Amino acid sequence: MTTKSEAAKSRTLKYNDGATQFRQRLISSILSHRPLLLRNIRSDDLDAPGLREHEASFLRLLDRMTNGTKIEINATGTQLRFKPGVLLGGDIEHDCPIGGNGRSVGWFLEGIFPLAAFGKEPLQLTLNGVTDGTSDIDPSVDYLSSSFIPLLIKFGIGVDDDHPPPVLKVTKRGAAPMGGGSVDFYCPIVKELNPIDFVDFGKVKRVRGTAVSCRIPPSSAARVAHSVKGVMHRLLPDVWIHTDVHSSSGKKRKSGDVGGCGPSPGLSVNLTATTTEGVCLSVECSMNHNINSDSGDMMQHDQTVERKNIELPEDLGKRSATLLLQEIYSGGCIDTSAQSFAMLMMCLTPEDVSRIRLGQFSQYTIMSLRLYKEAFGVEFKLRADDNGGEGSDDESDDGFGSKRGGGQTIICSCLGIGYRNMARAST
């Protein structure tokens, strides 16, 4: 005789809106141990219906990370049946698709982070492909390292003496569209997560950043850093931007790449603001520098017009600094792009209340809340709060000590489901 909870776990998660929230639904399926059915995956696209190359690649990666997973895709690729297995972890190397239909390494890592700590063994993952952000669509490795890794540690991953904390390291840079980069990600396993209480914002005390350039003049990264400091120095003195330059000169490697980076040029910047209460807010910007070269006989006039639309390094620096100021103004304890990830980890905490302060919700976060309610049965309690932080003396303080003109925050709290890593060997 099956109990009500066992019957709930056996129910299939069914969606008819195609590849919407593709990674989040697969993650929820694995963590909730419930089968997943996706229908109408780009069924209205007559030229290229069904799963894209990067989505199929992500499914292959999940298959390698698990044992017993069953994946069924129909002939047209418009329907996916996914029966989750048991997470294993271990040493895995995976090549991410590049080119027009590919996504960056960061797109894959976003889907792996919630699963990494619940395997049978610590995860040692090597991903090859595009390491930098792609036109502000996919996150770069630098952004994930400064935003997601501290969140993993806050939830108790890697805080004991048995295993080192999670580490995300770029071993070789690779810009879009040709990639050629490589990333190493290590994450220890845990029995269960720790509940968090992360509502105090504090005051911004420093800004750190990295300007990365690949196969373009080294002065471009310096121009980006100078532009960022020109904006941020009006507000606080402790601003330091590191320039990570990879030129086309250098020794030739066995792979044929030169100078420790891939064949494509690229320019990007990642900024992180740290507060007195340990809040780290990160943003990133990448320059859309690539010329569409699908055909080899492209006219020189078309190339000239395209180059005129390239963003200047100074404009890139100002845009990134403006985005960071907007994140600070919102008053959340984590940046907007990490909201859905933090809420998923809160759902998996022990049966205790976790709280976190967020700024304005993104549309992706709102959709994720509905998914978590269906998959895990967790409902978040949301309370609007005009105070930028409980430890702040001025209720309208914006973190820099000046009056806040808006930026109402939201206190999000939930009761965790008590998720435990059953694959981990008991000692």
Q: pLDDT digits over 224-241, tens only?
A: 999 999 999 999 999 999
Per-residue pLDDT band at 422 (split at 50, 70, 90): confident
Per-residue pLDDT at 251 exceeds 50: no
Tell how far CA 394 is from the center of its chain: 33
Extract the tokens encoding 271.
């900024």
| Residue 81: burial class (beta carbons within 10 Å; 0-12, 13-18, 19+) | middle
Q: Which residue has the higher pLDDT, 279 or 426?
A: 279
Distance from C-alpha of 275 to C-alpha of 200, rounded to nearest angstrom: 10
Per-residue pLDDT at 405 exceeds 50: no
Per-residue pLDDT at 179 exceeds 70: yes
CB atoms within 10 A of CB 33: 13
CA distances in angstroms from 101 to 53, 109, 123, 177, 178, listed in the order given: 6, 17, 27, 10, 11
Q: Which residue has the higher pLDDT, 206 or 45?
A: 206
Residue 403's beta-bridge partner residues? 397
CA distances in angstroms from 397 to 239, 281, 283, 388, 391, listed in the order given: 21, 17, 21, 6, 11
Q: Which amino acid type is present at position 32? A: S
pLDDT tens per residue across span 70-111: 999 999 999 999 999 999 999 999 999 987 677 899 999 999
Q: Give ranges for CATH 3.30.110.150 in the chain.
A: 1-86
Please, are residues 111 and 58 in contact by the beta-carbon 8 Å criterion?
Answer: yes
Per-residue pLDDT at 387 exceeds 80: no
Full-model pTM: 0.87
Cα angle for residues 79, 83, 84 (degrees, 5° grid): 130
What does the pLDDT average to over 291-310? 42
Per-residue pLDDT band at 425 (split at 50, 70, 90): low
How is domain 1-86 classified at the CATH fold level? Answer: Translation Initiation Factor IF3 (3.30.110)
What does the pLDDT average to over 26-41? 96
| The dihedral formed by the CA atoms of 344, 345, 346 and 348, expressed in degrees to the nearest 10 | 100
Distance from C-alpha of 148 to C-alpha of 144, rounded to nearest angstrom: 5
Distance from C-alpha of 207 to C-alpha of 268, rounded to nearest angstrom: 17
Q: Give ranges for CATH 3.30.360.20 in the chain.
A: 204-249+261-289+311-330
| Residue 285: burial class (beta carbons within 10 Å; 0-12, 13-18, 19+) | buried
Q: What percent of the chain has pLDDT over 90?
A: 70
Tell me which CATH homologous superfamily contains domain 204-249+261-289+311-330. Answer: RNA 3'-terminal phosphate cyclase, insert domain (3.30.360.20)
Distance from C-alpha of 202 to C-alpha of 401, rounded to nearest angstrom: 10
Q: Using DSSP, state whether 82 is helix, strand or coil.
A: strand
Please, are residues 104 and 140 in contact by the beta-carbon 8 Å criterion?
Answer: yes
Question: What is residue 3's predicted lDDT score, i.e. its pLDDT?
Answer: 43
Per-residue pLDDT at 295 exceeds 90: no
What does the pLDDT average to over 3-17? 69
Q: Which amino acid type is present at position 242? A: H
Question: What is residue 176's predicted lDDT score, i.e. its pLDDT?
Answer: 84
What does the pLDDT average to over 367-395? 79
Per-residue pLDDT at 143 exceeds 60: yes
Q: Which residue has the higher pLDDT, 7 or 75?
A: 75
CA atoms lying within 13 Å on the CB side of residue 210 = 17
Question: What is residue 88's predicted lDDT score, i.e. its pLDDT?
Answer: 93
Task: Report DSSP letters for 137-197, one per residue.
Answer: TBPPHHHHHHHHHHHHHHTTTT-SSSSPPPEEEEEEB--TTT--EEEEEEE---SSPPP-E
Per-residue pLDDT at 363 exceeds 60: yes
CA distances in angstroms from 228 to 98, 221, 373, listed in the order given: 30, 11, 40
Residue with tokens 């080899």: 296
Mean pLDDT of the chain: 85
| The dihedral formed by the CA atoms of 325, 329, 330 and 335, expressed in degrees to the nearest 10 | 30
What does the pLDDT average to over 142-161? 92
Question: What is residue 136's predicted lDDT score, i.e. its pLDDT?
Answer: 64
Distance from C-alpha of 215 to C-alpha of 263, rounded to nearest angstrom: 8
